[in-house]
Chains A and B, each alone.
Chain A
Amino acid sequence: MTNRLKVLVGGVQLRDGVGTVVDLLGRIATRAGLHVLANERNYASTIYGAHQFDPILICEEPPLSHGDDQVDILVALEFDSNPDAPQQPNRDTILRHGAHLRDGGVLLYDASTGTVPTQALEARGIRVFPLPARQIALRELRREVVKNMVVTGALFRLLEFDMDQRYLRALLEERFARRGQDLVDLNLQAALRGRAIVEEVLRERGWGDVGYRLEPRPGGEPLLFLSGTDALGLGAIQAGCRFYAGYPITPASPLLEFMDRYLPVYGGRSLQGQNERESIRAALGASLAGARAMVGSSGPGISLKVEEFGLAGAAEIPMVVVDSQRAGPSTGMPTKTEQADLRMAVGAGHGEIPRIVLAPSTLEECYTLIMEAFHLADKYQCPVFFLTDLTLAEVRKSVPQRLFQETRVRITREGVLTEEEVQRDGFRRFRLTDSGISPRIFPGTPGAVFKVSGTEHDELGFVTTDPPKRQAMMEKRMRKMETYLREDARGPQVYGDPVGRPVLVGWGSTKPVLLEARERLRAEGLEVAVVQITHLWPFPTRLVKPVLEPATMLIVCEQNYSGQLADLIQERCLLPTRRILKYNGRVFYVSDIVRGVHRIVRHGAAEVRVAEALPVAVEAHEGE
C-alpha cells in the first residue's frame, strides 16, 4: 500500500468533469477507510473553457496537510484542444503540471485525438498511459458522459484498487437508484474498458505495476467526505442557526446553497438577498425577532455590509458574519485564496463597536468554532466575524462521523428574558450593567416592548446626545469586550515548546501546512514551535503574549501582502515579528514554509515573499 498518494486531475473547466473524477475518487477512498484531503481546488472565475485542476491526496493515516505541489499521478482529461490554448491539443494539463510530476510517477491522459510527445517525462522514469477515453465512450459505449468512468476505471487499475468493483458498484447503485440498473451496468462496463486499456499498456511495456497501490482499510470508524463549507453549515444548524441570508458570491455561494437546502428541514429560513445589504439587513431583522441568524459572503460583499456591522454593534443585535476570504482587492481573483481581510474584520466601519473575530484553522474547526460564534454573538449581542477563506470553504476531506455526532453544545440564548422574568425583574433594553451585557427580549413577549436604535440612546432606547448618557452607553457597550476577554477569549493553540526556539505563528487555513513544516524542519535538525491564533479580536494579549515572548523569533506566516496578523501582534504585544508571505493565489506548500524558515533563521531575512518555484506554462485568459 502506498501510504501517501497525490493525484492531480486536470482538464477543461465544465467540459471535462475534473470535479466529478475527484469527487468519485474521494468518496470511494473515504468509504474504503482511507483518508482523503483535496485542499487545492483550482478553477477559474469563468464557467467554461479555462484550465481546471484539482489535486487530491489519499493516505493510510490522516495527513497533516496537503504537503507540496509534487504529484504522483497526473490525470489529463483534455481530449482535444483547450479552447483557450488551441495550439496545444490535449496537452494543457501535461504542460502545466508535468514538471510537478515526481520522477517515477504516472501520467494518464486522454489520447482520443492522438498521442502527445512525452519522451521528456519518460526519461524521468514516468510511466505514460495514453487512454482514448472519450473515443471509447462515444464509439463503443455510445454515451459521452461515461468518458470519466473510463478514466476512473483506468485509474483504479493503476492503483490496483477496487478490482472487484465493490465500492464503485455500490456508489453507482445509490446514485442511479431511480434511473435504473442499465445505467449502473453501462458505467461499470466503462470502468472495465478503462481497466483493459491500462492492462494492455502494462503488458506491452512489460511493466508489472506502476509502483502505487491503494488498499481499502475496512472496519475502521465511519468517515464522511465533505467540504469545509458543509462542516460550517452543519455546525451552524447544530448551534441553532435558523436564519441565513447570502448573495451569490464566490466562494461563499455553496454556504447559501447548503442553507437553502437544509434550513427548511429544521424549520428555518434561508434568503438569497437582492444584494449584499438586503441580506444582512434581513438577517438583522430576523435576529431582532429572535432567530439565531448568520450572513455569509466574501470580501467584496463584506465591504458592502460594513454599515450594518456598525448598526449591529450600536443596536446590540447578535449577528454571525462568515467571510470566506478570497484574493482582493476589489474583484481581485474570485477563485483564488487569500487571508487579507483580517484588518477589515477587526476595524471596518465608522465609529467604534464591540466585535469578536474568530478564525477556524481546519475543516473540523469550521464545525466546532462556528458553534462558539453563535454563543458569543448571543451572549455579547454584537457582530461575530468568522474568517474562513477559499481554501477552508472548498477543502474536501474525510472526517470521522463521530465528530458531528458527539460534539454538541447546549444552547442557552443567554440574556433573553422570558415573560415571567420580565414581570419579575422589569426590563430596560440597554440597562447599564457591570458586564456591559443588557437584557433583551424577543418582540412579542407579553408585557414588554423595546425601543432599539443605531442612533445613540439611553437605557430605554430613546435617542439622546446628552454627554453623560452617551458616555455611559458607549462605555457599557465596549465593556462587553472586557467581559469577553475575561470570560470567553481563548489563547492560541500551541504545538511544541516555544521557549528558546523560533515560533511559526499563523491564523486560518494555513495551520496544517505549518504543522507539517514543523515536522520536516525537525527532521532537518531545526526545532520550531507552531502557535495558531483562532480568537483574533478583541486581541487576547494576556493569553498570547506570554506564549510568544520566550521565543527566539516570531515567524508569522500569512497569505497576504503586508502581514496583517504580524502587525496586530506587534501592535498588541510589542514584540518584533518576521514574516513569510504569499499572495499569488496559491496555497502555502510545506516547502514554501521550510525554505522561508531557512532564509530567516540561517540567513537573517526579515521577510520572505514566496514565489512559485516553477513557471506556469500557460495562463489562460480569465474574465471576471
Chain B
Amino acid sequence: MSVQPAARTSASKVWEENAVPRHRIQWCPGCGDYGVLNALKLAFTRLELVPHEVLLIGGIGCSGQIRNYLNGNGFHGTHGGPLAYAVGVKMANPDLRVVALAGDGDTFAIGVENFVHTCRRDPQVTLIVMDNGVYGLTTGQRSPTGGLGQEFPQFSEEEPPPFSPLRLALAAGATFVAQSFSGDPKHAAEVYVQAMEHPGFAFVNDFSPCVTYNKFNTYDWFRERVQPVPADHDPTSLEAAWELLADFRRRGRSPLGVIYRSPRRRKAQRRVPMWPQELEGVDLEPMLRAFR
C-alpha cells in the first residue's frame, strides 16, 4: 500500500490511512482497546512518526487486530510470538520503530517465555499489553491476570490467583515498566510516548476492560482503583519500584504511570546488509584461513 506524503493530510489522519476504516473495526462497542488505539494515534502524532518507519506486531486475540486499525507496517504471527519476532526485526534493522501490541493471554500465558527473555534482551521495542484478564476472542476464558481484585475463598490448580505482570517484568530485568488505563487515553498517550522514547525494551501494561466477558474489572471498577504514581517516586530506583508496587498492593490500588525506567548501556548496532550490492563480493578469507 502506498503512503500519502504527510503534508497532504492532517497529522492525526495519517494514522487512519491504509487501515481498516473505523466503521469496520470489529471490537465490541466500549471495548478498552479503542482507548489504546486513540492513545497510540496521539502518541505517534506527538512523536511525529512516519508510517513507513513503523512496524506494528500484533498478537493473537481481539487486541492484536489493532495492527490493522492503524497505518504503518503490520505483522501478525503465531500466538505468543510478537516479542520474539520483534527481537529479530530489531536485530536486522535497528532503524525501524517496532511496537508489539498484544493481550494478556498472548503475553503472559502462551508467550511468557518471550516476555521474560525480551526483558533480558532489552531490544528497543515497545510492548503495550491490552490487559483485560480474559481471552475475549474465544469467549471469555480466564487469563493469567484474570481475577484481579477478586476475593477467592480458596485456590486450586484450575483456578490460581492472578499474577502481576509488573512484578514479573521487574524480576526479569525489564528496563522500562509502566502502566496505563485505556479509560484515560490522554494519560496513556503520555506513557506511550515515554515508552517509545526509551532506548530499550519498554513494557506498558494497559488496563483495557473487556465489556463483554469481564463483568468484574469494569471501567468503573478501574476508575475507583487506579491512582497515579506519586510525583515524588524515583523511577530510576529499582528498590523504589518494588516498594511502590508493595505500597499499592497493600492499599488495594493499581499505579498508573512510569514505575521503573533505567536504560542499560547498549552496544551500538547497525542494520544488517540486505541489498544485493551490500551482499556481493564478500571476502571469504577470514573463514577459509581457519581450515588450512
A residues contacting B by CB (< 8 A) are 31, 222, 224-226, 230, 233-234, 237-238, 240, 242-243, 245, 262, 265-269, 271, 273-275, 277-278, 281-293, 307-308, 310-311, 315, 401, 404-405, 410-413, 422-423, 426-429, 442-455, 460-463
Q: A455 to B118, alpha carbons, bound, how many Å?
A: 25
B81 proximity list for chain A (CB < 8 A): 277, 281, 308
Q: A274 vs B81: C-alpha distance in the bound complex, in angstroms?
A: 13
Q: Given known contacts A226-B291, A269-B92, A427-B1, what 11 new A-B pairs fall within 8 Å (CB)?
A: A224-B292, A237-B282, A242-B279, A262-B286, A278-B114, A281-B84, A285-B57, A290-B92, A405-B288, A448-B1, A450-B73
Report the minimum CB–CB distance from B138 to chain A (whole Å).
Answer: 15
With a cutoff of 8 Å between Cβ atoms, the chain A residues found around residue B89 in the complex are 285-286, 288-289, 443
* Closest chain A CB from B76 CB (angstroms): 4
A412 neighbours in B (Cβ, 8 Å): 276
The 0/1 profile, CB within 8 Å of A marked 1, for residues 190-222 of chain B is 000000000000000000000000000000000
What are the residues of chain B within 8 A of A404 when measuring CB–CB? Answer: 284, 288
Instruction: Report whether A450 and B91 are in contact in the complex, using a CB–CB cutoff of 8 Å.
Output: no
How many angstroms from the CA of A310 to the CA of B274 in the assembled complex? 24
Kindly list chain A residues whose C-beta atoms are within 8 Å of the C-beta of B72: 449
Instruction: Identify 27 residue pairs between A and B in the complex whose beta-carbon atoms are under 8 Å apart, listed by A's number.
Output: A225-B292, A233-B287, A237-B287, A238-B282, A266-B282, A277-B84, A278-B87, A278-B113, A282-B84, A282-B88, A283-B88, A285-B57, A286-B89, A289-B88, A289-B92, A290-B92, A405-B288, A410-B276, A413-B276, A427-B2, A443-B96, A444-B95, A445-B52, A448-B1, A449-B51, A451-B1, A460-B1
CA distance A281 to B282 in the complex (A): 27
Contact A285 B88 (CB under 8 A): yes
* Size of interface on B: residues with Cβ below 8 Å to A: 55
Q: Is the CB of A285 within 8 A of B84?
A: yes
Within 8 Å CB of A240, what residues of B?
273-274, 276, 279-280
- 1/0 per position for B77-91, CB-CB distance to A under 8 A? 110010011111111
Q: Please tell me if the beta carbons of A291 and B272 are within 8 angstroms of each other in the complex.
A: yes
A-chain residues with CB within 8 Å of residue B275 when the two chains form the complex: 413
Contact B85 A455 (CB under 8 A): no
* A288: B residues at CB distance < 8 A: 75, 85, 88-89
7 A-B pairs with least C-beta separation: A285-B88, A281-B84, A282-B88, A285-B85, A240-B279, A286-B92, A289-B92
Q: Is the CB of B288 within 8 A of A449?
A: no
Q: Are A268 and B273 in contact (CB under 8 A)?
A: yes
B243 touches A (CB below 8 Å): no
Selected contact of B71 from candidates A283, A285, A291, A449, CB within 8 Å: A449
Which residues of the other chain, B, contact A224 by a CB distance below 8 angstroms? 288, 291-292
Q: Which residues of A contact B74 (CB under 8 A)?
A: 449-453, 461
Query: Are B274 and A242 neighbours in the complex by a CB distance under 8 Å?
Result: yes
Cβ 8 A contact of B96, one of A311, A422, A444: A444
A278 to B287, CA, bound (A): 28
| Residues of chain B with a CB closer than 8 A to A444's CB | 52-53, 93, 95-96
Q: How far is B2's CA from A547's CA once the two chains are assembled, in angstroms?
A: 49
CA A480 to CA B56, docked complex, whole Å? 28
In contact, A308 and B78 (Cβ under 8 angstroms): yes
* Bound-state Cα–Cα, A278 to B85, Å: 8
B-chain residues with CB within 8 Å of residue A423 when the two chains form the complex? 2
For A268, list chain B residues within 8 Å (CB): 272-273
Q: Is the CB of A225 within 8 A of B291?
A: yes
* Chain A residue at minimum C-beta to C-beta distance from B57: A285
Q: Is B249 an interface residue (CB 8 A)?
A: no
Q: How far is the CA of A451 from the CA of B55 in the complex (A)?
A: 9
Q: Please determine whether B2 and A293 come into contact, CB atoms closer than 8 angstroms.
A: no
Q: How far is the CA of A315 from the CA of B287 in the complex (A)?
A: 34
A457 closest partner in B (C-beta) = B76
Contact assessment for B284 and A234 in the assembled complex, using a CB-CB cutoff below 8 Å: yes
**Which of A243, A442, A444 gathers the greatest number of chain B CB atoms within 10 Å?**
A444
Tell me how far the C-beta of A551 lies from the nearest C-beta in chain B, rounded to whole angstroms: 40
> In angstroms, how far is the closest chain B Cβ from the Cβ of A428?
7
Q: Which chain B residues border A242 with CB–CB below 8 Å?
A: 92, 272-274, 279
Report the nearest B residue to A266, measured CB to CB.
Answer: B282
B92 touches A462 (CB 8 A): no
User: Bound complex: CA of A315 vs CA of B284, how far in Å?
Assistant: 33
* Bound Cα distance A411, B280 (Å): 7
Residue pair A454, B20 in contact (C-beta under 8 Å): no
Residue of A230, A447, A451 touching B68 (CB-CB under 8 A): A451
**Cβ A311 vs Cβ B284 within 8 A:** no
Interchain CB contact (< 8 A) of A453 among B52, B76, B272, B284 = B76
C-alpha gap A242/B20 in the complex (Å): 34
> A242 CA to B270 CA in the complex, in Å?
12
Which residues of B are found within 8 Å of A307, using beta-carbon distances? 78
Does B3 reach chain A (CB closer than 8 Å)? yes
B75 to chain A: closest residue by CB: A452
Whole-angstrom distance between the Cβ of B282 and the nearest chain A Cβ: 6
Residue of B nearest to A227 (CB): B291
Q: Give the residue of A277, A451, A454 whose beta carbon is less than 8 angstroms from that of B73.
A: A451
Nearest residue in A to B26 (C-beta to C-beta)? A463
Q: Which residue of chain A has its CB nearest to the CB of B285?
A: A405
Which of A262, A422, A446, A452 has the most chain B CB within a 10 Å cutoff?
A: A452
Question: Which residue of A has the minimal Cβ distance to B82?
Answer: A281
Q: Please indicate the chain A residues that have their CB under 8 angstroms from the CB of B92 in the complex.
A: 242-243, 269, 285-287, 289-291, 293
Nearest to B286 among chain A residues (CB) is A265
| B12 in contact (CB, < 8 A) | no
Q: Is there an interface contact between B270 and A443, defined as CB atoms closer than 8 Å?
A: no
What is the minimal beta-carbon distance from A624 to any residue of chain B, in angstroms?
Answer: 22
How many angstroms from the CA of A456 to the CA of B34 in the assembled complex?
A: 24
B253 at the interface (CB under 8 A from A): no
A447 touches B280 (CB 8 A): no
Given that A422-B2, A449-B73, A451-B67 are contacting pairs, would A266 and B273 also be in contact in the complex, using a CB cutoff of 8 Å?
A: yes
Residue on B nearest A279 in the bound complex, by CB: B84
- Distance in angstroms from A152 CB to nearest chain B CB is 19
Chain A contacts for B87, CB-based, 8 A = 271, 278, 281-282, 285
Chain A residues with Cβ below 8 Å from B286 are 262, 265
User: Please, which residues of chain A bring their CB within 8 A of the CB of B20?
Assistant: 462
> Can you name the residue of chain B whose Cβ is closest to the Cβ of A291?
B92
Give A266 to B117 CA distance when docked, in angstroms.
Answer: 26
Q: Is the CB of B272 within 8 A of A243?
A: yes
In the complex, B18 has a CB within 8 A of chain A: yes
Given contacts A289-B93, A444-B95, contact A454 B77 (CB under 8 A): yes
Contacts of B76 in A (CB 8 A): 315, 452-455
Provide the bound-state CA to CA distance between A461 and B291, in Å. 47
Known contacts A448-B2, A452-B75, A410 near B288 by CB under 8 Å: no
Query: Provided the pairs A266-B273, A449-B52 are in contact, do residues A311 and B78 lie with their beta carbons within 8 angstroms?
Result: yes
Chain B residues, Cβ within 8 Å of A315? 75-77
Of the candidates B68, B86, B88, the one whose C-beta lies within 8 Å of that of A463 is B68
**Distance (whole angstroms) from the CB of A28 to the closest CB of chain B:** 11
Distance (whole angstroms) from the CB of A260 to the closest CB of chain B: 13
Segment 57-76 of B: residues with Cβ below 8 Å from A: 57, 65, 67-68, 71-76
